[in-house]
Structure 1
Amino acid sequence: MGNGEAGLKRNEITEDGLRVLVETFYAKVRQDPAIGPVFNAAIDDWPEHLEKLQAFWSSVTLGTGRYKGRPMPAHIKHADSISAASFERWLALWAETSGELFEAGPAAALQDKAGRIAESLAMGMAFHRDPDAALGLTRRAARTAWRPAEAD
């Protein structure tokens, strides 16, 4: 129920749902005034790229192993064009699109996964730009996250 029928939200993540999500989302990205120019300058063959993205999302959400690429080097090439605001806009469009196409549970799972991926890419780009500064951020984050157990 809700999977594949026009106008109804999908209640589970499937290959077909991911295909629709990726196509719908990147149609929005390409038209977006903030991040569209970055993506359109970086991607020459959109149909091929969409296939790669569908395989990526299939792998990370369904565990299919279809994606065999390396996303970090692909994004590092464009690090000078991608800002924190770019990631925020990308995540906002992803949340909007996944929320339009999926019920709350699957939409939240997709949004959580996207947030983790964006965080990982952002950290990789920060490390690429300034390894010492990025290492300091990572150490501060680790110190903040790790708290020794209180002695009883």
Structure 2
Amino acid sequence: MPDATLTETSLAAFLAAFYAKVRQDDMIGPVFARAIPDSDWPRHLAVIQDFWSSVLLKSGRYKGNPFGKHQALGGLEPAHFARWLGLFEDTAHAVFEPAVAGTMIERAHRIGDSLKAGLFFRPDSQVP
């Protein structure tokens, strides 16, 4: 039965399920594999937990720079974000009741839109 509330425990379960899918995905799994060695996944998941806890539960634990981390990866395309969001949505709907899943998905889209704007928006450099 889907969780009706978002807690640190339910968030951790969601993230474990979600990133298991991400790591197995044909499109974005290789991106993560290049950036995060298998031995570093526990540390990475802890950082991700801090990030989402800060975003969704307002814990304030995350102190990093998600834009800088994504920018440093290089080779990211909008299709990578679309796939990530699709897996995020599927997992959120499977783990949480609709209201909780909807809140998480809305936040993920806002964050994704912000990252994509920073990474891919290139205004025309020619002024008429």
TM-score by length of 1: 0.78
**Residue in 2 that maps onto 1:36:** 29
Larger Rg: 1
Corresponding residue for residue 55 of structure 2: 60
Pick 1 or 2: higher relative contact order, CA cutoff 8 A, min separation 6. 2
Could you tell me which amino acid in structure 2 is paired with residue 27 of structure 1?
A
- C-alpha separation between the residues in 1 aligned to 2:10 and 2:29? 23
- Does structure 1 residue 119 correspond to structure 2 residue 81? no
Count of paired positions:
124
Following the alignment from structure 1 to structure 2, what is the Cα–Cα distance between the partners of residues 67 and 115?
A: 19
Q: CA RMSD in A?
A: 1.5
Q: Deviations over 1:93-138 (max 9, x none)?
A: 00000000000000000000000011111111125xx4x44x9xxx
Give the alignment of 1:96-115 within 5 angstroms.
96-115=90-109
Match of 1:71 in 2: 66
TM-score (norm 2): 0.92
Tell me how far apart the structure 2 counterparts of residues 79 and 16 of structure 1 sit (CA, whole Å).
33
Contact 1:29 1:36 in 2 (8 A): yes
Secondary structure of the equivalent of 2:27? coil
Q: Where does structure 2 lack aligned partners over 5 or more consecutive residues?
A: none
